[in-house]
Chain A
Amino acid sequence: MSQVALNYLNATKGLKSWFCTLDHKRIGIMYLICIAVAFGLGGFFALALRLELISPKEILFTAKQYNQLFTLHGAVMVFLFIVPSIPASLGNFLLPLQLGAKDVAFPRLNLTSWYVYVFGALFCVYSMVAGAVDTGWTFYTPYSIDSATSVISMTLGAFILGFSSILTGVNFIVTIHKMRAPGLTWFRLPLMVWALYATSIIQVLATPVLAITLLLLVLERTMGIGIFNPALGGDPVLFQHFFWFYSHPAVYIMILPAMGIMSELVTTFCRKDIFGYKMIAFSSLAIAIISFLVWGHHLFVSGQSDYAAMIFSLLTYLVAIPSAVKVFNWVATMYRGSIQIKAPFLYFLGFMFLFCIGGFTGVMLGALSLDVHLHDTYFVVAHFHYVMMGGTVMAFIGGLHYWWPKMFGRMYNETLALIAWAFVMLGFNMVFFTQFILGSKGMPRRYYSYLDQFQPLHAFSTVGSWVLAVGFILMAFYLIDSLLNGKKAPSNPWGAMTLEWQTQSPPITENFLETPVVTHGPYDFGMEKQS
């Protein structure tokens, strides 16, 4: 009995076996560690700037330091954490398993993308210590041309990280096309795979635009080529168009894989086939395509033409409908299921609650006239935190809890998971619901100081950030504890149907003892015999 089963974690030993690994599961774990560190760092910046905002007076930081803090918070959370979060960590681990494959199509490229990520991250870290950048994560010109802070190293960091994202996207697309197990037809794919497929398309098509834009910004700063700089006849608004041409699709790079996780969670914990499989699969692709045509809704007050604004507003509403439909499909999937409320499912419920609020407030922001008032206020800050953190981060954590036993072969403490979830939900709403009211009352974003009358709401929001932090610290504690002391996980603790659960936990290096043959859909749970 003392014999430990051979698996991908203990198959080979030593640091070199990790840093030179071609195993998609190990690369996924390495990404997971980097991403967790990035999330911790970004969260630390968030706590620091919320602390400064507890009062309109100077507490810990000067205006310049505060501006650097919110820039680093945004840049770290977007480029180092949320864009790679689900695809590069969970996606890397899962995709070949869910396809019944031995690895991704290009294992060496996969390892390369991790090294590129680390290399890009080093530039970002260098920018933090060498005169931290203060432009906001959006690098708007001409401010970013004039700023005396280390703009170039941060933009180069984001530029390099983009390549990591492109390489992962290409790898996933080829893997999904070419590596499916026998019998695994397109409509037998788990919806997570569809979501990763749609995400990869955006990564491959949109990221080069960001790369070019950031490169132009670097050239503008170093050589004064006069594309964005009005002093040289350039157009600073052009930068905003270029930037959002990537960064709006990037929002869907963040949310689509989260939606994939949601479909996996609701089916497993309700033992139900998904309601509207094709609808959900195709809506991911529809969102991926339309997402390229809505960037102008970030520029309603920038002076772009009224006709352009009208079309961007209309398209924005078109892209909202598929997201709404998915939410209804998930609720319908719960109908007459066999529902078990475990930690991953709590995060499913958390996502539903918070993402809906993010969606409804998105409808407000998409309305041309209303956006004029709400643009660049705390209302927008609250909105995208409800979507990005209430949506993507909730799903990411839900997915992490769901696949944790598969990744590490250990169970975590359910009671502590429930308590941490309660703290996260309470804290999150305290921080960000308050900001809706602050914003619609007129409080602009990126303000170091503010009108005295806003102080009680700001203070309440700051206290919420501490509650949120307690939830995440508790989570880190019980997850690390589970690695050391957790109960051994069976191969299929939740009774799920997809292929990753049909092999041992943790899987062997080759994933499956023999190539699985698929004969049914991913959510074919069957039902009770009617008595």
Chain B
Amino acid sequence: MDTSLQTESLLHTGTTFFPEGVGPFASSMDSLFYFIFWGSVIIFVPLILVSIYFLIAYRRKRENQLATKQMTHSTFLELAWTVPPTILVLIVFVWGFKGFLHMSVAPLNSQEIHVSGKKWFWEFSYPNGNKGIGELVVPVDTPVTLLMTSEDVIHSFFVPNFRIKRDVLPNRYTKLWFEADKVGNYQVFCTEYCGDGHSAMLAVVRVLSAEDYEDWLAEANSGDDLPLDKLGEKLYTSKACATCHSTDGTSRVGPTWKSLFGSKKAFVGGGTATVDENYIHESIVNPGAKVVAGFDNVMPTYAGSLNDREISALIAYIKTLQ
């Protein structure tokens, strides 16, 4: 698993059952969980103790021993174990529904970011035209609405710390909103099974202070000052190439980039070619045109996601991996 997309925000933070909660939904949801949890303990433990008492007190001591009482009804008991649980679950129902409505309606002043799910990465498009892959950058204490759609199969966008999740569908927009109230890096998962790279379809929400966010906006998409191969190396992780292509020779979902440039490849459906600049360019913008034998045609197009300079940078980087 690509470690650059992992955060430490989950297991070792928060309470026994939940990661640290960030934003407006966590406190109500966590209280509801612990309400049900302790309610269950209060019902479950006596139930177990009573059962154990029965097992001991009424153990059969001689072979032909019969029960000492036959009781088939008790209106009092039956009401006692039907009515209170019904009331309890109705409380839980209303509590859960109110929380759900809160999550369904985004504040009017929220900032809108487009999210696109593709096999197997997340792409974010900001209002100012910036685009990013694998990293969602947002300012702290600002409501954000994610307008999400999928380019292929169903994905699902899940941020455990924010307690939000929604399926991301092809041909349809779905929405999520949140307001991060704490600066930090938070884990994003894809939670709708989408194939070989499903568990690698991660991202990070970077919540920045207002000043840092301004700086980020100014800096983003620069990289103009970097030499091409260094920019390519940066794009290799930031554009999620690393999910499917290794640089150390191991085979992932797609062919490794090590010693790729100049090598001769055979394609699905026949034909061979030597990997050159034009082949790599074609494979980035039209990946299905020539699929290397032994691999599936699963890569989405990056046309529109990478500009010419960025594609050149990737080619330059691949050339260094000999």
A87 to B161, CA, bound (A): 44
**Segment touching B, from A21-29, A40-48, A202-210, A442-450:** A442-450
Q: Report if A131 contacts B (CB, 8 A).
A: no
**Residues of chain B in range 159-185 having any CB-CB distance to chain A below 8 Å:** 160-161, 163-167, 169-172, 174
Q: Report if B126 contacts A (CB, 8 A).
A: no
Q: Report if A122 contacts B (CB, 8 A).
A: no
Looking at chain B's contact residues, the main secondary structure is mixed
- Range for the number of chain B residues in contact with chain A: 35 or more
Question: Which residues of the other chain, A, contact B95 by a CB distance below 8 angstroms?
Answer: 367, 369
Q: Is the CB of B66 within 8 A of A332?
A: no
Question: Which residues of the other chain, B, contact A440 by a CB distance below 8 angstroms?
Answer: 17-18, 33
**Residues of chain A in range 34-90 having any CB-CB distance to chain B below 8 Å:** 56, 62-64, 67
Question: Which residues of the other chain, B, contact A332 by a CB distance below 8 angstroms?
Answer: 71, 74, 77
Q: Report if A108 contacts B (CB, 8 A).
A: no
Q: Report if B187 contacts A (CB, 8 A).
A: yes
A328 to B166, CA, bound (A): 37
Question: Which residues of the other chain, A, contact B66 by a CB distance below 8 angstroms?
Answer: 271, 338, 525-528
Question: Which residues of the other chain, B, contact A215 by a CB distance below 8 angstroms?
Answer: none
Q: Report if A437 contacts B (CB, 8 A).
A: yes
- Interface flags for A415-450 (1: CB within 8 Å of B; 0: not) read 000000000000000000000110011101111111
Question: Which residues of the other chain, B, contact A356 by a CB distance below 8 angstroms?
Answer: 44, 47
Q: In the complex, which residue of chain B has the Cβ closest to the Cβ of A317?
A: B89
B161 → chain A, closest Cβ, in Å? 8
B158 → chain A, closest Cβ, in Å? 7
Interface size on A, residues (CB 8 A): 95
**Residues of chain B in range 71-119 having any CB-CB distance to chain A below 8 Å:** 71-74, 77-78, 81-82, 85-86, 89-90, 92-93, 95-104
Q: Report if A381 contacts B (CB, 8 A).
A: no
Q: Is the CB of B171 within 8 A of A444?
A: no
**Segment touching B, from A112-120, A306-314, A404-412, A504-512:** A306-314
Q: Is the CB of B191 within 8 A of A336?
A: no
A453 partner, pick from B12, B40, B74, beta carbons under 8 A: B12
Q: Report if B154 contacts A (CB, 8 A).
A: yes
Question: Which residues of the other chain, A, contact B65 by a CB distance below 8 angstroms?
Answer: 271, 338, 528
A148 to B171, CA, bound (A): 22
Q: Is the CB of A444 within 8 A of B190?
A: yes
Q: Is the CB of B11 within 8 A of A279?
A: no
A457 → chain B, closest Cβ, in Å? 8
A352 → chain B, closest Cβ, in Å? 7
**Segment touching B, from A188-196, A245-253, A371-379:** A371-379
- Interface flags for A447-488 (1: CB within 8 Å of B; 0: not) read 111111110010000000000000000000000000000000
Question: Which residues of the other chain, B, contact A231 by a CB distance below 8 angstroms?
Answer: 170-171
Q: Is the CB of A303 within 8 A of B51?
A: no
Question: Which residues of the other chain, A, contact B167 by a CB distance below 8 angstroms?
Answer: 301-303
A79 to B72, CA, bound (A): 37
Q: In the complex, which residue of chain A has the Cβ closest to the Cβ of B80?
A: A328
Question: Which residues of the other chain, A, contact B103 by a CB distance below 8 angstroms?
Answer: 369, 372
Q: Is the CB of A301 within 8 A of B156?
A: yes
**Segment touching B, from A97-105, A135-143, A389-397:** A135-143
A164 → chain B, closest Cβ, in Å? 28
Q: Is the CB of B101 within 8 A of A363?
A: no
- What are 7 A-B residue pairs whose CB atoms fall within 8 Å in the complex? A148-B296, A273-B72, A325-B81, A371-B96, A376-B158, A376-B192, A453-B10
Interface residues of B (CB under 8 A from A): 1, 3, 6, 8, 10-12, 14, 16-19, 25, 28-29, 32-33, 36-37, 40, 43-44, 47-48, 50-51, 54-55, 58-60, 65-74, 77-78, 81-82, 85-86, 89-90, 92-93, 95-104, 152-154, 156, 158, 160-161, 163-167, 169-172, 174, 187, 189-200, 253, 296
Interface residues of A (CB under 8 A from B): 56, 62-64, 67, 134-136, 140, 142-143, 146-148, 230-231, 233, 236-237, 270-277, 279, 300-303, 306, 309-310, 313-314, 317, 320-321, 324-325, 327-328, 331-332, 334-341, 349, 352-353, 356-357, 360, 363-364, 366-373, 375-377, 436-437, 440-442, 444-454, 457, 525-528, 530
